[in-house]
Structure 1
């Protein structure tokens, strides 16, 4: 039991570390231009999409079963995932139509993505990390 408890405490902290990595990657993405912007955007968007799919498909359903009091927070987090996905798709479309990747539209959408994603990550940490650090069970596929 002790090893499992230690792992779970670390797991909640690992979520924060993962989010901090997304924050750093997004800051780097926002300072990229041209081909680097396209390359970094695709890698960032793919990684973030996979993370959100894991949360929506495994973590959130598990938390909903173990902690029904999180229903409203989980609903909000899922809705925010949709907003972030739409912004990332918009950025990809803009990059496809902007030959050098330096257009004002791309920069404006990256700024919007940064605002939305940072607020989302902060809220998710506030709502979930304390619970993750005390849970006795985890989903199998996270």
Structure 2
């Protein structure tokens, strides 16, 4: 095996960590925009933008995993099927929570309500990321998957 191929194999675990870090940062920016909001149109537009960007990034990440990463892991490691099933269930739950957040933003919910939505999404997201990293990072060190990072881990 040549050096670049080895680097690419190891990179899937690094890429997953990077994507999780970027999504955590997007949640933080969204929370800060909510806390700093003043009642003017620009602040409301900023919040809409941050929430939309965060929701899109997190959903895109999970869709990429469901479409490309998890099938490749299951093919190489069938014993991980129960883990992958739980992760997919988390994806579904997070998607539902994100829709609730988006609906609250669209109807201009109060900052307190938006904060509750962000807290719920953040708690489940963080639990999911920790479990996913604990269960999959070692597997990703050796996973052979010839695909673009954005296709596999989302558009971040």
User: Is TM > 0.5 for Structure 1 vs Structure 2?
Assistant: yes
* Separation (CA, whole Å) in 1 of partners of 2:21 and 2:76: 26
User: 1:35: how far off?
Assistant: 2.3
Helix, strand or coil for the counterpart of 2:142? coil
Helix, strand or coil for the counterpart of 2:133? helix
RMSD (Å), alpha carbons? 1.4
Q: Given the superposition, is the C-alpha separation of residues 29 and 43 from structure 1 closer, same or farther in structure 2, using an over 3 Å criterion? A: same
Point out where structure 1 has 5 or more consecutive residues left out of the alignment: none
CA contact (8 A) 1:29 1:40 kept: yes
User: 1:10: how far off?
Assistant: 2.0
User: 1:103: how far off?
Assistant: 2.9
CA contact (8 A) 1:30 1:110 kept: yes
Which 4+ runs in 1 deviate beyond 2 A? 139-142
* Separation (CA, whole Å) in 2 of partners of 1:26 and 1:45: 9
Q: Which residue of 2 aligns with 1:82?
A: 92
* Separation (CA, whole Å) in 1 of partners of 2:101 and 2:16: 25
- The alignment status of 1:131 with 2:139, answered yes or no, reads yes
Number of equivalenced pairs: 139
